Amino acid sequence: MVEEILSPEFIAGFLAASLRIASPLLLATVGEIFAERSGILNLGIEGEMLTGAFVGFAITYFTGNIWLGIFAAIFAGALYGTLMAFMSVSLGTNQVLNGLAITLLGSGLGFFLFRIIFGVRTVLPYVGGFKTIDIPILSQVPIIGEAVFKQYSLVYLALILVPISHFVLFKTTTGLRIRATGENPKAVDTLGINVIKIRYACTIFGAALAGLSGAFLSLVQFRTFLSEMSAGRGFIAIALVIFSNWSPIRAFGGAFLFGAAEALQLRLQAIGFAIPYQFALMVPYALTLLVLIAVAKKVAGPAALGIHYRRG
Amino acid sequence: MKLDVKLERRATPHPLMALLYPALAIILGLLIGAFFIVAAGADPIKAYEGLVYGAFGDIYYITETLIKTAPLLFASLGITVAFRCQVWNIGAEGQLYAGALAATWLGLSLVNIPALPHLFLMIFIGFLAGAIFGSISGVLKAKLHINEIISTIMLNYIILYFVSYILHGPWKDPVTLWPESRPIAPTAIFPVLMAGTRLHAGVLLAFICVPLIHVFLNKSVLGYRIKAVGTNPAAARFGGVSVAKSVILAMVISGGLAGLAGMNEVCGIQYRLRTDISPGYGYTAIIVAMLGKLHPVGVMLASVFFAALINGADLMYRVTGIPVALVSVLQGIVLLSVIGCEVLSNYRVKVIKGG
- Residue A283 touches chain B, beta carbons under 8 Å: no
* Partners of B192 in beta bridges: B200
Closest in B147, B151, B328 to A104, CB measured: B328
Distance CA(B335)–CA(B302), nearest Å, equals 12
Give B162 to chain A, closest Cα distance, Å. 7
φ and ψ at residue B21, rounded to 5 degrees: -65, -30
Which residues on chain A are in Cβ contact (under 8 Å) with B42?
Answer: none
How far is the CA of B17 from the CAs of A195, B11, B288, in angstroms? Answer: 31, 14, 19
Which residues on chain A are in Cβ contact (under 8 Å) with B164?
Answer: 278
Distance CA(A87)–CA(A81), nearest Å, equals 10
Give the pLDDT of chain A (312 residues) as one tens digit per residue.
566 666 777 778 888 888 888 999 999 999 999 999 999 999 999 999 999 999 999 999 889 888 999 999 999 999 999 999 998 888 888 888 889 889 888 888 888 888 888 877 777 777 776 777 777 777 777 777 777 777 777 888 888 999 999 999 999 999 999 999 888 888 888 888 899 999 999 999 999 999 999 999 988 888 888 878 878 888 889 888 988 889 999 999 889 988 888 888 877 777 777 778 888 788 888 988 998 898 887 777 888 888 888 876
- Residue A97 touches chain B, beta carbons under 8 Å: yes
Contact A94, B339 (CB under 8 A): yes
How far is the CA of B343 from the CAs of A118, B17, B79, in angstroms? Answer: 38, 10, 22
In eight-state DSSP terms, residue B174 is S
- Find the helix or strand (DSSP H, E) in which B331 lies: helix B326-344
Distance CA(B353)–CA(B13), nearest Å, equals 25
Instruction: Verify whether the Cβ–Cβ distance A296 to B145 is below 8 Å.
Output: yes
Instruction: Verify whether the Cβ–Cβ distance B154 to A288 is below 8 Å.
Output: yes
Instruction: Verify whether the Cβ–Cβ distance B161 to A289 is below 8 Å.
Output: no
Contact B23, B276 (CB under 8 A): no
Contact B42, B322 (CB under 8 A): yes
**DSSP-assigned letters across all residues of A16-61:** HHHHHHHHHHHHHHHHHHHHHHTT---TTHHHHHHHHHHHHHHHHH
What are the structural domain ranges in chain B? Answer: 69-293
Contact B281, B72 (CB under 8 A): yes
Which residues on chain B are in Cβ contact (under 8 Å) with A231?
Answer: 157
Which residues on chain A are in Cβ contact (under 8 Å) with B325?
Answer: 108, 111-112, 115, 227
Q: Name all domains of chain A by residue range, CATH numbers in brackets.
A: 2-121+137-295 (1.10.3470)
Distance CA(A195)–CA(A188), nearest Å, equals 7
Closest chain A residue to B39, measured at CA: A116
Instruction: Verify whether the Cβ–Cβ distance A285 to B323 is below 8 Å.
Output: no
- Residue A93 touches chain B, beta carbons under 8 Å: yes
Instruction: Verify whether the Cβ–Cβ distance B332 to A104 is below 8 Å.
Output: yes
Task: Give the A:B interface size as CB pairs under 8 Å.
Answer: 134
Alpha-helix runs per DSSP H in A126-276: 144-148, 153-171, 173-183, 185-190, 195-216, 233-243, 248-270
pLDDT digits (tens, 9 = 90+) for A97-128: 889 889 888 888 888 888 888 877 777 777 77
Instruction: Verify whether the Cβ–Cβ distance B287 to A279 is below 8 Å.
Output: no
Distance CA(B221)–CA(B218), nearest Å, equals 8
Q: Which value, to the nearest 10 degrees, does the dihedral of the CA atoms of residues A155, A156, A158, A161 take?
A: 180
Distance CA(B58)–CA(B65), nearest Å, equals 11
Instruction: Verify whether the Cβ–Cβ distance B339 to A111 is below 8 Å.
Output: no
- Residue A58 touches chain B, beta carbons under 8 Å: no
Give the pLDDT of chain B (355 residues) as one tens digit per residue.
566 666 677 767 667 776 777 888 888 888 888 888 888 788 888 888 888 888 888 999 999 999 999 999 999 999 999 999 999 999 999 999 999 999 999 999 988 888 899 999 999 999 999 999 999 999 999 999 898 988 998 899 999 999 999 999 889 988 888 889 999 999 989 999 988 899 999 999 999 999 999 999 999 999 999 999 988 888 888 888 889 999 999 999 999 999 999 999 999 999 999 998 998 899 889 989 988 989 999 999 999 999 998 888 888 888 887 887 888 888 888 888 888 877 777 776 667 765 4
Contact B148, B141 (CB under 8 A): yes
Closest in B40, B146, B286 to A116, CB measured: B40
Mutation choice for B interface testing from A51, A80, A243, A289 by most B CBs within 10 A: A289
Q: Pairing state of beta strands B2-9 and A133-134?
A: unpaired
Contact A151, A132 (CB under 8 A): yes
Contact B259, B133 (CB under 8 A): yes
Mutation choice for B interface testing from A105, A227, A279, A310 by most B CBs within 10 A: A105
Nearest-5° angle of CA A289, CA B244, CA A100? 50
Closest in A111, A281, A297 to B328, CB measured: A111
How far is the CA of B125 from the CAs of A78, B87, B204, in angstroms? Answer: 46, 24, 18
Total residues found in chain B within this entry: 355
By the 10 Å C-beta count (0-12 exposed, 13-18 middle, 19+ buried), B91 is classed as buried
